[in-house]
Structure 1
Amino acid sequence: MKANKITATICLVISLAIATITGINFKKLSTVPEITPGKGVTEVRKLSDYFEGIKGSDGDTPIYVMKGKEDGGKVLILGGTHPNEPASHLSTVLFIQNVKVKKGTIYILPYTNRSGFTHNDSQEGSPHDMHFITKDGEEVVYRYGSRATNPINQWPDPDVYIHATSGQRLSGSEMRNINRAYPGKKDGTFTEKVAFAITEMIKKENINLTFDLHEASPEYPVINATVSHEKGMNVAAPGVMALQLDGIDMSLEPSPKNLHGLTHRELGDFTDTIPILMETANASQGRLRGATNEYQVLTGKDKFYTRANELKMTYVPYDDKGHPIEERVGRHLQGIIEYTKSYNKNYPEKMVEFDNCPTYKELFADIDEKDLGGKNLGRFMIK
């Protein structure tokens, strides 16, 4: 009997220790890493400036404003729509910290669904953080989050999610996916309110061109692709050709008219902006992957995807070199460069011009393999 009490006490102490450590780690996730703005940032606003309904909540996220000396058009870049797609978020970090706008204004949301950065997807074994060393030798840490809004902010999921404006029926889990919530709803769920705030921002600021940055699993058909609303095809088509001339494999997909809630459909239908969505290949969110850790996230190397490629199960080439974070971020940033150039040719009266954006060559194509997997990306960051 005495031995049982001792064993029970030991188990209780161990359980309390595990609960304490887990609780501390969980609490740390409630705050997201701050992004040090570069010299090109002229102002930092909050999304609640456009809709007070999210003020003070985990949905209220910073907006980095980069205004040029000359008036011109307006561009919005959405990063972190899905926080388990790190190239999306990190592309906006590099843009904020390196670019200088000459003409027009660019708005950047690096934490589009800020709530999604405060937790991980359960049972996925994903890392919490990604670590980089800047060119000055300092360590910076950025978050790897979840595809969906934190259940603390919105719960429970229904069996069926009915999209507010179209009535389209989707899986209940998609109710916390902000890229199924546009154009949003003023008195809707937490996620719908954030989507509504972004839509309001686009309307109030008269945003001309919107980029939504994403990643996809290698077995997903729409990958290494750009998806455009029909009214943006005059911008997207020349941009895709320019990317291909840059040595970047890129396809162009029209936004399906019967698939609702996504930026490339709803922002095009409900606002005057031209919405463009880009996808890159990310092994860490795929179903065929091996161990999900920071090494895999940053290098893109995964022996299971190499094997899947041999079995013709992937929609992108996959060898033992993987798809490092520099390649994926480079694709997004080069896409922003080329699509903005194409936009300027079509709309010279509302041009947006900028300098010093890291290119695909600078990040990946001209870089030795030993410097990939996060090393070269860190050189473009500041602490």
Structure 2
Amino acid sequence: MNIKGTRKTAIFLLTVALLVMYVTGRNFLAMRQPDVVIPADGFEKRMLSDWFQGIHNTPADTPVFIQEGQEPGGTVLILGGTHPNEPAGYIAAVLFLERAQVQKGRLIVIPFANNTAFTHNSPQEGYPQYIRFLLPDGSVRTFRYGSRDTNPVYQWPDPDIYVHEPSGQRLAGSEMRNLNRAYPGQPHGVITQRIAFAILELIRKEDIDLAFDLHEASPEYPVVNAIVAHEKSLELGAMAAMDLEGRGIPFRLEPSPRNLRGLSHREWGDHTDVMAILMETGNPIQGRLRGRTNEALALTGKDKFYQKAAKLGSLFIPYEDDQPIALRTARHVTAIMTFLEMLGFISEEKSVIVNNIPDYNDIIDKGIEAFLLSIS
């Protein structure tokens, strides 16, 4: 090839490279735009930094919504988005945010707990950047499908070994960016530790009685379709699990392991007076047996390899053809409402009554789309 031809080829390749950089850079930066939510009447919006200034004016700061009923009662926290690649958790939180009418007590909702983890995803997993819901009026609600961990732009590098503070437990280095390995947090630590500390400060200062951390897990993971309860909340968890079982919505009840540190259900309960609950639903996009990974799998949970695994008895959830997000979200929403009912049985003084939340069958039959509000 002559020099002129080589120069043309180089210019062409450089142009293509710049175009790819532009498109990918624009897509990357677009994930920093927050998801739109429409709080129901009565919610007051604050920021997590109101409870801990150490995350003020940082990408870690995230909205906190508080609604107080006319009757005094207890206080309940719903936390979604600890892991933004587990969408049923934050969609359940959004449903409470957009529909709740609090009659008694207070409801606090944090839909996007690790805000930094919503600003990127895990491309090596093939995950989509967004999930979308087509509403009855023809409008579309879009939510980011983020990553399990804090964006490395804001916390890097990972150590070879992550040593949890204050327990000294040793984990893989990347777990240092996992919010659910960071509790009780450190006020002067890395950004993930400061998020954890801020959430614990909110629980302490607002004297929260019952707190939920909403998750999803792979169908082959033993702790799935499960309620994980600190010993302070085991009695309440048993009551809720039995009630749900009687309604045909089984949840396995798991005690929080005392020697597994950094997790919400352990550290919230150990470091505050709250009754701590973590819940898991079964989501095939979280698993290792899945085939094609895309938005459809995140929404429908339909995967031919999981169908085969179910027939072989290799899964810990009932699985026939799919595991749609409506089912997974309905499990979270219905379990929370059941816990609130049981809380009232245990203590009238700490009871929290929330109205206008769709029931289990309505969510499954009508889909998430029927209960999200239009932004058009």
1:350 alignment counterpart: 350
What secondary structure sits across from 1:22 in the alignment? helix
Per-residue CA shift, 1:245-285, capped at 9, x if unaligned? 22112110000000000011000000010001110011111
Q: Which runs of 4+ in 1 moved over 4 A?
A: none
**Mapped pair 1:381 → 2:340:** no
Per-residue CA shift, 1:4-51, capped at 9, x if unaligned? 222221111101100011111111111221211122x42000000000
Per-residue CA shift, 1:64-95, capped at 9, x if unaligned? 11111111100000001100000001001111
| Match runs of 1:130-209 below 5 Å | 130-209=131-210
Q: Distance in 2 between matches of 1:275 and 1:95?
A: 18
**Mapped pair 1:31 → 2:22:** no
| Match runs of 1:1-383 below 5 Å | 1=2, 2-39=4-41, 41-320=42-321, 322-364=322-364, 367=365, 376-382=367-373, 383=375
Q: Distance in 1 between matches of 2:43 and 2:293?
A: 38
Q: Distance in 1 between matches of 2:14 and 2:317?
A: 50
What secondary structure sits across from 1:45 in the alignment? strand
What secondary structure sits across from 1:350 in the alignment? coil
TM-score, normalised to structure 2's length? 0.97
Q: Distance in 1 between matches of 2:326 and 2:189?
A: 38
Q: CA RMSD in A?
A: 1.0
Per-residue CA shift, 1:330-361, capped at 9, x if unaligned? 00000101111111111111111111112211
- Structure 2 gap ranges (5+): none
Identity across aligned pairs (percent)? 49
AA aligned to 2:258 is K
Q: Distance in 1 between matches of 2:6 and 2:294?
A: 39
Q: Distance in 1 between matches of 2:35 and 2:349?
A: 38
User: Larger deviation: 277-286 or 303-312?
Assistant: 303-312
Q: Distance in 2 between matches of 1:312 and 1:352?
A: 40
Per-residue CA shift, 1:290-334, capped at 9, x if unaligned? 1111111101101111112222222112222x1100100000000
What secondary structure sits across from 2:349 in the alignment? helix
What secondary structure sits across from 1:197 in the alignment? helix
- Structure 1 gap ranges (5+): none
AA aligned to 1:357 is I
What secondary structure sits across from 1:123 in the alignment? helix
Q: How far apart are residue 219 of structure 1 and its match?
A: 0.9
TM-score, normalised to structure 1's length? 0.95
**Contact residue 135 and residue 380 of structure 1 kept, 8 A:** no
Q: Distance in 1 between matches of 2:201 and 2:92?
A: 24
AA aligned to 1:15 is A
Q: Distance in 2 between matches of 1:5 and 1:125?
A: 36
Q: How far apart are residue 165 of structure 1 and its match?
A: 1.4
Q: How far apart are residue 101 of structure 1 and its match?
A: 0.4
What secondary structure sits across from 1:354 in the alignment? strand
**Contact residue 59 and residue 115 of structure 1 kept, 8 A:** yes
Q: Distance in 2 between matches of 1:220 and 1:148?
A: 19
